[in-house]
Amino acid sequence: SSRRSDPKHTTLALAVALLTEIALVNAQIAVYMQMDIGVRDSSYTMMFYAVTATMTALIVIGLGFTLMTMFRSFASRNSDHDLVLAHSVYWYSLAVIFATMWFVVYVQK
């Protein structure tokens, strides 16, 4: 939609991405709250918290990136195609990393 200079659908796509990011952070916080283990209980728990906290930090950075992209698309008459493209590449890459992390940490345990 950004390539076609369609600001309404670009904004809609960024809003959906923003809600998904908030849901991911919320889900990870819920996992931390439900777990009854400390960081220093074993080497596995330390690795678990290190990997998932790093992933959560990358998602929060992406949340800021989404807000910046949204602000830039609202503020300018012409959509910044390169910024939207960079945003999509970041999130495609992060989706692959998240799927790998989820499989290794949560499925393989």
Q: Note whether residue 2 is domain-resident.
A: no
pTM for the full model? 0.82
Range of the domain at 54: 7-107
**Contacts for 109 with CB less than 8 Å, ≥ 6 apart:** none
Q: Note whether residue 38 is domain-resident.
A: yes
Structural domains of the chain, count: 1
DSSP class per residue in 29-88: HHHHHH----TTS-HHHHHHHHHHHHHHHHHHHHHHHHHHHHHHHHH-SS--HHHHHHHH
- 12-32 pLDDT tens trace: 888 999 999 999 999 999 988
The reported pLDDT for the residue numbered 4 is: 57
Which stretch of 43-52, 58-67, 88-97 has the lowest confidence by average pLDDT? Answer: 43-52
Residue 63 in tokens: 């949340």
Q: Note whether residue 37 is domain-resident.
A: yes
